[in-house]
Structure 1
Amino acid sequence: MTAPPLVPLQEIPVTDSPYVLLFGSLYLLLVLAIGVWGYLQTESTADFLITGKSIGTWVLALTAFSVIQSGFGFVGGPELVYSFGTTALWIFFTAPLGFVVTWILLAKRMRLLADIRDVMTIADGMYVRYESAWVRGLTAVAVVVGVMAYLATNLAALQYVMRAIFGLPVVWGLFIGALILLLYSMLGGMIAGVWTDFVQAITMIVGAVFVFAFALSFGGGMETISRNLASADPSFVSPFGAMGAPVATVFTALGWWILFSIGAAGQPHLVTKFYMSRNLRILRWGAPIAAVTYAISSLLAFSTGLSMRSMVESGQAAAPKSASVVGPVFVLEHTPGVLAGLILAALLAAIMSTSDSFLNIGAAAVARDIPRALGRPIEDDETELRVTQAALAGITIVSTLIVYFSEALVGILGTIGWGFFAAAFFAIAALGLNWKGATKEGAIAALVGGLVVNLFYSAVPRIADTAGLGGLASTVASLYPFPESFPVGTVALLVTVVLFVVVSLATQGDRTVPRDIAVLIER
């Protein structure tokens, strides 16, 4: 989901387990080895960005689950469950449905698009669909903004994970981690990212099952956990959890249900994976595999969050310094060293592999999509590949410097995540590839609307607070027409869908869709 937050991760303890150090070291070596192997497999831009359409069913499905789960299941998930009880489960209940929605709406069409046209990025696909340089350019800009946000927050998390595993000073954890990420990404491209995602996914699934068992044992079983939580606050185990007043909590749960069940189809690091599948046949079982494995991995967040809160409420465990470190602290302090090493190394791999996916789509936007939108494409494939790698290096360096120099800016970027991409791309991609009546004007309106709503309600208040303009921040917050806990991303997503449909209907006229695209939409 969204990348782990910056500040609370400072409180992850430095491990003294040799197993954590061993597994962390092995994972970093494995990451670099996969990068070198990926480099040997890369001969063209298509190899670098979409693996040459070479991945099979299980790799595609587990990679899809892995890029969505990322570090969220280990950091953000337990934090939400610990803080709000069953409210957070509305994410974990609905995210598996998101894979089904995404597969139904986009899997076959995105893969066919890669066969009938020269597409490697989401902006390529949107240009082909709408035949508009403006749509291509706005899509590329949205990708770059979202990638910088995700990457900066991932690097901010990476520096503390490196410290927890290796005991490094935080600044060295940042620079060494960024260097390894850069080498691995520049060498292997998406090929390396896909296979690291695959290894990480298997590790998280196995680790989640074991952590689930240890967490239930630690809390005295589900019955004891439920009783302790209900004694402290009955809403913790109510259908909608404990986030605010009852009505607001129901509203928030509904907002999360919409955002995470539908918004998955707007995540470019997920939907571009369909370009990579070996053929259409292997797409058939991808959705159930991704959904089931995501559900299994979510056992980690569910069990650690509820078990830790239960033991704290019953007075049998000390409260963690921050809810954001519930997952890491539980694994480090209440599971065997081997399991802790496996899970923490998987978190390291999650940050690395997800960052690689973002780097690749961001670099492609800079080197391929923006020049083409401006009418100045790079014609030579080898040159385009080298420019893409250079752009990848530039994005990594800029994001690393943001983390190093500006914690405030990282916090602002951290407000732009899942909801930003969902609002930007769900309507134009998921609806646009299923509705021949969609127009370029509708796509432009949706892109601009999604950017404005997300930035105005998410980033502007943070910028104003950072600049000492508390009055402005309060004014913007007062303009938000929903409870504070209701996700801004859901509002932006709904606004973009309405804009997309209304403007498309108003501008259809007698336009026709290119024949090959019309056939694709009808399939």
Structure 2
Amino acid sequence: MTDAAVVPLQAEGIPVADDPIILAFGAVYLLIVVLIGAWGYVRTQTTGDFLITGKSVGTWVLAMTAFSVIQSGFGFVGGPELVYAFGTTPLWIFFTAPLGFLLTWVVLAKRLRLLADIRNVLTLADGMYVRYESDWVRGLTGLAVIVGVIAYLATNLAALQFVMRAIFGVPVVWGLFGGAFILLLYSMLGGMIAGVWTDFLQALTMITGAVFVFAYAMSFGGGMETISRNLATADPALVSPFGAMGGATTAVLVGVAWWILFSVGAAGQPHLITKFYMSRNLEILKWGAPIAALSYAISSLIAFSAGLSMRAMVEAGEIGETFSASEVGPVFVLEHTPSLVAGLILAALLAAIMSTSDSFLNIGAAAVSRDIPRAMGRSIEDDRTELRVTQAALAGLTVLATGVVYFSDALVGILGTIGWGFFAAAFVPVVVFGMNWKGATKEGAIAAIVGGLTVNVFYSAVPMAAEAAGYDGIAGGMTALYPYPDVFPVGTVALLVAVVLFVGVSLTTQDGTELPADLHALLER
């Protein structure tokens, strides 16, 4: 065993804006976020208000919220990072994720919204308890949410420390701790009411900023033809259809795996699918999917253009590589776009990270205060008490996720794919199949959640934790047991395992029991 170094994840090589315009944008945006949180606090009277906004969200707000909780800090920090490091391989994420919105809306939107009407459901675990009539399913769903939330929240906190450093010039470690504190305050105040409106604001800002960043990145790199030529000269794999993540065969496998994980896996993201509970009525769901998909595609131009152009200029010797891959997005915006554009993007990122993290914290805290206690037969009956316990649980989750960032050396983009994989494996079969197939059984749901979690924890979470703690031998030994190339996403394997378990166990445990009449009618729609 080696001693774990008690140092923050990232070094402080990221440039500081030192620009009054960018500083003003950041300060104003933070003020707006806090004010929205305070407004949400005034509007929040019940647990239902805190978790699902009292079913008050319209079409554009729903669509923009759905897109922004998926994009968030991953798109600005993790996305350019992966594109810079591996060329076109990550484009299999950004070009296929919009399909996930369309798929999710088709298979789940109407059914989950109707479920919120016919039964008193506030969380994903509530809905799955109603579907399977099993406390085991409810409890395991809550547990899976907590595990995935910690990984995904860590992604956003890792991005937040960069943005705080870039705007305000604070050391990275204080950007992490200070940002986490502001996030916790904002989340405890406003709940989901504040989150969805901050999502809406930052989504509009990110779409606008993405167009500007794309134009400046293409100009900086000399146009797509020059960018491609410079990259191909350095390494033809960087601009091949499947990129440079591993060898040629490995890159193909990774591209296909990410296609599966980020198109099909979208329907298993609880921070996305529980947004359907919030819609004002069924009619507003009609146009949400194309709006969300198009918005995501436009915002992804940041990752695509900044990552490729920066790598091309480094390979051409036009700029020095004085930054890490994780810093590519912030560095490009700070050094190669005008102050107004940089201020707009960085301020929007503050709001994006805050609102997306708020969604994660809400669903995770609800699992702690509502889902798991109810699964154990110890539900909190008083609504105000449940609300306060939910708010208190936010603090614990924030501390855990901050610790993951502080002690881990995983790339922001990799943390994001791990969190996505946790959710996809646990919930795609249970929710998508369960809400569309009357033959799904509680035994199948239990097997799928346990199987998906086991694969993800054994091959992702435990090796990462062991390495962070200094147990490199344990981490290496567990990684050596993984039957695929190390860059092949564990989440895809876990998802496929979970689907096979769900279908196989459901087929062997069907006993002819009829669904309740209201659920039977819902699944017939």
Q: Provide TM-score, normalisation by structure 1.
A: 0.95
How much has 1:364 moved relative to structure 2? 0.8
| Cα 1:389–1:467 shift into 2, 3 Å | closer
| Cα 1:39–1:436 shift into 2, 3 Å | same
CA contact (8 A) 1:24 1:348 kept: yes
Match of 2:241 among 208, 219, 239: 239
How much has 1:168 moved relative to structure 2? 2.2
How much has 1:409 moved relative to structure 2? 10
Q: Percent same amino acid among aligned pairs?
A: 74
Matched residue of 1:342: which SS?
helix
Match of 1:20 among 19, 22, 26: 22
Q: Which amino acid aligns with 2:101?
A: F
Counterpart in the other structure of 2:78: 76
Matches within 5 A, 1:316-331: 316-331=318-333
Counterpart in the other structure of 1:101: 103
Moved more, 265-274 or 231-240: 231-240
Q: Which amino acid aligns with 2:266?
A: A
Q: Return the alpha-carbon distance in structure 2 between the equivalents of residues 93 and 415 of structure 1.
A: 15
- The answer to whether structure 1 residue 354 and structure 2 residue 363 are counterparts is no
Matches within 5 A, 1:18-417: 18-400=20-402, 406-407=407-408, 416-417=418-419
How much has 1:229 moved relative to structure 2? 1.7
| Cα 1:410–1:365 shift into 2, 3 Å | farther
CA contact (8 A) 1:14 1:165 kept: yes
CA contact (8 A) 1:149 1:410 kept: no
Counterpart in the other structure of 2:522: 520
Moved more, 457-466 or 106-115: 457-466
| Cα 1:418–1:9 shift into 2, 3 Å | farther
Matched residue of 2:264: which SS?
helix
How much has 1:386 moved relative to structure 2? 2.0
Q: Return the alpha-carbon distance in structure 2 between the equivalents of residues 54 and 468 of structure 1.
A: 48
Q: Return the alpha-carbon distance in structure 2 between the equivalents of residues 122 and 396 of structure 1.
A: 20
How much has 1:467 moved relative to structure 2? 4.5
Q: Return the alpha-carbon distance in structure 2 between the equivalents of residues 438 and 180 of structure 1.
A: 43
CA contact (8 A) 2:368 2:393 kept: yes
Q: Return the alpha-carbon distance in structure 1 between the equivalents of residues 518 and 164 of structure 2.
A: 49
Q: Which amino acid aligns with 2:48?
A: A
Q: Return the alpha-carbon distance in structure 2 between the equivalents of residues 433 and 517 of structure 1.
A: 9
Match of 1:461 among 456, 463, 469: 463
Q: Which amino acid aligns with 1:43?
A: Q
Q: Which amino acid aligns with 1:29?
A: L
Counterpart in the other structure of 2:3: none
Q: Return the alpha-carbon distance in structure 2 between the equivalents of residues 416 and 243 of structure 1.
A: 16
Q: Once the two structures are superposed, what CA deviation does each residue of 1:134-166 show, in whole Å capped at 9, x if it has no partner?
A: 000011111112222222443343233222211
Q: Once the two structures are superposed, what CA deviation does each residue of 1:442-463 show, in whole Å capped at 9, x if it has no partner?
A: 0000010011000111122223
How much has 1:402 moved relative to structure 2? 5.9
User: What residue ranges of structure 2 are gaps of 5+ in the alignment?
Assistant: 1-7
| Cα 1:86–1:401 shift into 2, 3 Å | closer
Q: Return the alpha-carbon distance in structure 2 between the equivalents of residues 321 and 433 of structure 1.
A: 47
Q: Return the alpha-carbon distance in structure 2 between the equivalents of residues 213 and 480 of structure 1.
A: 42
Q: Provide TM-score, normalisation by structure 2.
A: 0.94
Counterpart in the other structure of 2:430: 428
Q: Return the alpha-carbon distance in structure 2 between the equivalents of residues 87 and 481 of structure 1.
A: 21
User: What residue ranges of structure 1 are gaps of 5+ in the alignment?
Assistant: 1-5
Matched residue of 1:243: which SS?
coil
Q: Return the alpha-carbon distance in structure 2 between the equivalents of residues 132 and 239 of structure 1.
A: 45
